[in-house]
Amino acid sequence: MSRTFLGMPATAPRGVGHLRGAEPFPQAARKALDDEQLRRNLGHATATIRRRSGAVVAELPDWQELRSAGSALKAATMARLPDLLEELEERVTAAGGVVHWAADAYEANRIVTELVRATGHDRVIKVKSMATQEIGLNEALEAAGIAPVETDLAELIVQLGRDRPSHILVPAIHRNRAEIREIFLREMPGVDPGLTDDPVALAAAARRYLRETFLSTPVAVSGANFAVAETGTLVVLESEGNGRMCLTLPETLITVMGIEKVVPAWRDLEVFLQLLPRASTGERMNPYTSMWTGVTPGDGPQSFHLVLLDNGRTAVLADEVGRQALHCIRCSACLNVCPVYERTGGHAYGSVYPGPIGAVLSPQLTGVADNASLPYASTLCGACFDACPVRIDIPSILVHLRNQAPHPRAERAAMAAAAYTMDRPAWYARAQRAAKLSGRLTRLPPPLSGWTAGRDLPVPPPETFREWWARR
C-alpha cells in the first residue's frame, strides 16, 4: 500500500484562487458577445493558430498513433499516481531539492510565501504557470508585501493591465497591439513616451524592463509542464526564453506543480515533446525546453523547492469518467477549435481554465454545483476531442457532468412529466396527437420558454410511427 496521502477527494476551497466566476457562463458570455473588438481579436488569433498547428500536425504520418500513446501513458500514470509521486519526491530530495505537499490553494500559497520570506527578499520573478494562477498566488504574495513580476510577455501584459488571462497558451489573446501600447505607456516603468504599436517595438520595451528585473531578483517561481518520476527532473516548455532566465539566474527556485503533471519515465517525454508543441504553438519543437534535476553546485539556483499541489485533483481522480480531464497537457488545442470559445473568449468562463477543457476541469475541481453552467458551454460538436493530442473525450465528460449539475425546478418537473407519460402507452399516444395539433409552433410559452430561447422546437411528423404501423 502506498504511504503517500493525496487527501480525501475534497474540492478546491472557496474564497481563494481563480476557479469560480462571479456570474454564470450564460450571463458572462452575453457581455462578451457584445464586444465586437474582442470577437475580431479572438477570431484572428485562433484561426492563425489553427492553421499553423494543422500544417505541422499533417507532417507526421503517425500523429494518431502518437495521440493514442499519449492517452495510454496518461491513463497508466493516473492508475498509479501515489507511487509515482513518492518516487518523484525521493529523486528530487536525493538531488538536493526539497518537496512540499499542498492539499489546497491556501496551503500552497502559505508554503510559497514562507519560502520567499525566508530568503529575505520582497520580489519574485515568475515564469508562466497555470497552477499559480489557479491558486491566486500573486494576490497572496502581494498581501504578504512581496511583489510578483510576470516575465512571459503575454502574462506581463495581463498583469500590467490589471486583467486576467483569456487563453491557456496566449493569455493576452483578447488584446490587440494598440491596446498593449496603451498599457505599456500607462504602467511600465521607464518606457519611452514615443513607443509605437509596432510588435518589434513593444517586444523591445518589454525586454528592457524584464532584463533589469531578471538581473536584480534572486528568487523565482515557476510551474512545470512535466516531472519525471524516474529521475526527479522538472520540465518547462516556452517560446520566448524568459522562462529559461527565470529557471537559471535566481539563487532560489520554487516550482508549483499540479500532481497530475508527473510522468513515469524519461522515455515518456519522447511522446509528449512531439505532441505538445504541434498542438499548441504550431511548432515542431518548443524553442526553449528547460530541464533541471535538483541542485547542481555552482550552476543555476542553489536552493530548489517543489510544491506538489492537489487543490481538488484527488476529487477529479475519484471520478472514473471525469478523471480524463487530468490527462490535459495544457496545449490549448481545444480552445482554438471551439466555436463557443472563439466567440466569447476566456473571461466568460470565470475560471483560469477556459474553453472546453475548462468546462470539464473547473467544475470537477470546485464541485459541479459551483460551476454548474460550464458543462453547458458547448455545442457537443466534438471538435475538441478531434483536436486533443491526448484524446480526452471532452464531449462525453460534458454530458457526464450535466447529469450531476443541479437542474431548475421547472426542468425537473418537465422531465418527470415526460418520464411519467412515456411509461404509459395510452398517455404517450395522446401526447403524440397533441404534438401534431401544435402545428409549426417553434417557441414555448413561459415558464418553458427558456428551453426554446436558443433552439426551435422540432416540427412534429405528419404521421406517428404507430399510425404508420396500423395503416400498413
95-105 confidence digits (pLDDT tens):
999 999 999 99
Phi and psi of 23, rounded to 5°? -145, 160
What pLDDT is stored for residue 283 in this prediction? Answer: 94
Residue 2 has pLDDT above 50, yes or no: no
d(CA 394, CA 469): 40
Sequence-distant (≥ 6) Cβ neighbours of residue 314 within 8 angstroms? 6, 7, 8, 9, 10
Structure confidence by residue, pLDDT tens digits, 454-470? 677 777 788 888 889 98
What is the three-state SS of 28-90? HHHHHHCCHHHHHHHHHHHHHHHHHHHHHHCCCCCHHHHHHHHHHHHHHHHHCHHHHHHHHHH
Which of the four pLDDT bands, split at 50, 70 and 90, describes residue 110?
very high
Q: Domain spans of the chain?
A: 80-314, 410-471
Looking at 3.30.70.520, 3.40.50.620, 3.40.50.10420, 3.30.930.10, the CATH number of the domain 80-314 comes to 3.40.50.10420
d(CA 412, CA 216): 60
Sequence-distant (≥ 6) Cβ neighbours of residue 177 within 8 angstroms? 197, 198, 199, 202
Structure confidence by residue, pLDDT tens digits, 310-336? 999 999 999 999 999 999 999 999 999
Sequence-distant (≥ 6) Cβ neighbours of residue 372 within 8 angstroms? 24, 363, 405, 406
d(CA 118, CA 410): 56
How far is Cα of residue 449 from the mean position of the Cα atoms in its chain? Answer: 33
On average, the pLDDT of the chain sits at: 92
Average pLDDT estimate for 176-197 = 94
Structure confidence by residue, pLDDT tens digits, 142-155? 999 999 999 999 99
For residues 243 and 64, is the Cβ–Cβ distance under 8 A? Answer: no
Longest dimension (CA), the chain: 90
Strands of 197-333 (E only): list them. Answer: 219-222, 226-228, 233-238, 252-258, 262-263, 288-293, 303-309
Give the residue with greater pLDDT, 328 vs 417. 328
